[in-house]
Structure 1
C-alpha cells in the first residue's frame, strides 16, 4: 500500500480528500495534518510515501513546508503533490522548482485526484523495479518524468501550464463552462481561454454544447470528457 499524508487547514476538506485517497486502490491514509508545523512532524514520524500538500496553512505556507522537506536529508526523498486553491503563476512555479510532482487546483473531483494517484502508483512501481545503480534507458526516464503529466502536442502559442489550468477548471465544473466563466475561474483572459477550450474540443478532450436563451447567438459551453 502507498501511504499518504493529507495536509489541509480545513478539517472537512481534509476528510473529503482522505476519503478520495482511501477509495483509490493501493492507497491508504497514513495521517492528516492541519498546519505546516504538524505536517513536518508527521512526515518525520510517519514517513509516508506521498504528501498531499495544501498551500494555505495557518502558520507555514505550503511552499515553505516543501522547501523544508527538501532541505532535510531525512525527508528529501518524500514525494509531494500540491492540492490548493492557489492559482497564481508564482506559486505554481515555486511548487515546480520545489520538486512537487503535480499541482491540482481546488476544487477538483474525486476522478481528477484518483487519476493522479494512479499515475503516481505507476511511477512508484517503476522506480522500485529499477535498482539504484542500474543505468536507465530513455524510455524509463520518459516514464519517470512524464508519468504524472498527460503528454500533449500543443499547437504553437499554447503552453502546458495554461492548458493544465483550463483542464482543471473544466474537470472541477462537470456542468460545463462558457469561455467567459472559464476565464473568471482561471483568472486568464477570455480570448486566451477560448483558444485552449477550442483546442480541447478539436482534440475530443472536451465536448461543446450549445445553450440557447434570449436573443443572439447560442452560448458555447465546454464539458470535459471523462
Structure 2
C-alpha cells in the first residue's frame, strides 16, 4: 500500500512540527504539509493529494468542527479526518463522531499512543481497499472495517482483534508461498502460537481465510491456513 498522505492542521506551529516529526517516524505515512487556518486547510484539501487530515478543534478562523462540516459537504474533499485536540467536552466529541471522524486523539499523548492510533487506522484503510475488490462482504468484515466487532465479541465469543495485529497475520499469509500453520504465522509475526491461532480462527469465521488439515505420517493433522481467493 502506498504511504497515507497526511495533512496536519493546527494553529500552533510548534505543535504541528511535533506532530509532523511523530508522523514521519510512523511507517506507512507521509506528511504532505501543515496548515494553521481552516481556510488554508480547505484549499489544500481541495487541491488533492491528501488521504488523511489530522485536525485540531481550535483554529483562528473557524472551529475544527466547522471545517469538518465543510469537508463532509464538499464532493471535492474525499479525505479521512482524525481529530487531534485537547478539547474533551463530550458535546464536541459527539459532534466529531457524528461527522464521521476516523478517530479522536486527546492531547497530550505520547509518540507511542500517536503511532498506535495511526497504525490501527492504516490497517482499516488496507481492509477497506481489499474489500473494495469483493462482490460481497460478511458482517464480521464490516465490523472490522468500522473498527469494532459485534458487541465486543464475535459469534464464537472471541475477543476483539487488534486491527494492526490482524493485518500482520494477513500479511504473513500473503507473503507465504504455501499454506501456513499457526506456528508459521507465529514465527512470521512474533505473536505467540496461541495468539496466532486465535487470529487465524477468527479470520476463518469471517470468511477471509480458509483452513484445511495437513496430514503427516503420525499423530493428529495440523491445520493449514491460506487466504480465500
Q: What is aligned with 1:62? A: 64
| Partner deviation per Cα, 1:123-166 (whole Å, 9 max, x = no partner) | 1111111226722111211111116x9x868xxxxxxxxxxxxx
Task: Say if 1:30 and 1:46, in contact at 8 Å, map to a contact too.
Answer: no
Task: Name the SS of the counterpart of 1:146 in structure 2.
Answer: coil
Give the superposed CA RMSD: 1.8
Specify every segment of 5 or more residues in structure 2 that has no aligned partner in the other structure, as ranges.
154-229
- C-alpha offsets along residues 50-89 of structure 1, whole Å, 9 cap, x if unaligned? 10000000001100010000000111x3100000010001
Matches of 1:40 and 1:94, distance apart in 2:
19
Aligned length: 150
- 1:32 matched residue in structure 2: 34
Which whole-Å CA distance do the structure 1 matches of 2:147 and 2:84 have between them? 19
Question: 2-side partners of 1:13 and 1:55: how far apart?
Answer: 13
Structure 1: how far apart are the matches of 2:23 and 2:48? 17
> Does 1:141 find its partner at 2:123?
no
Counterpart for residue 17 of structure 1:
19
Distance of 1:152 and 1:92 partners within structure 2: 21
Q: CA deviation at 1:97?
A: 0.7
Q: Distance in 2 between matches of 1:111 and 1:37?
A: 31
What is residue 89 of structure 1 aligned with on the other side?
Answer: 90
Task: State the alpha-carbon separation in 2 of the partners of residues 138 and 44 from structure 1.
Answer: 34
SS of the equivalent of 1:3 reads strand
Give every structure 1 segment of 4 or more consecutive aligned residues whose post-TM-superposition deviation is greater than 2 Å.
Answer: 131-134
Say if 1:51 and 1:80, in contact at 8 Å, map to a contact too: yes
Q: Deviations over 1:188-217 (max 9, x none)?
A: xxxxxxxxxxxxxxxxxxxxxxxxxxxxxx
8 Å Cα contact 1:83/1:104 also seen in 2: yes
Q: Please, which runs of 5 or more residues in structure 1 have no aligned partner?
A: 154-226
TM-score (norm: length of structure 2)? 0.62
Match of 1:41 among 40, 43, 56: 43
| Separation in structure 2 between the aligned mates of residue 34 and residue 127 of structure 1, nearest angstrom | 30
Residue 164 of structure 1 corresponds to none
CA contact 1:24–1:114 (8 Å) conserved in 2: yes
Q: Give the TM-score normalised by structure 1.
A: 0.63
Deviating more after overlay: 89-98 vs 127-136: 127-136
Q: Identify if the C-alpha distance between structure 1 residues 52 and 136 changes in structure 2 by more than 3 Å, giving closer, same or farther.
A: same
C-alpha contact (below 8 Å) 1:80/1:101 kept by paired residues: yes
Aligned partner (choices 7, 10, 24) of residue 8 of structure 1: 10
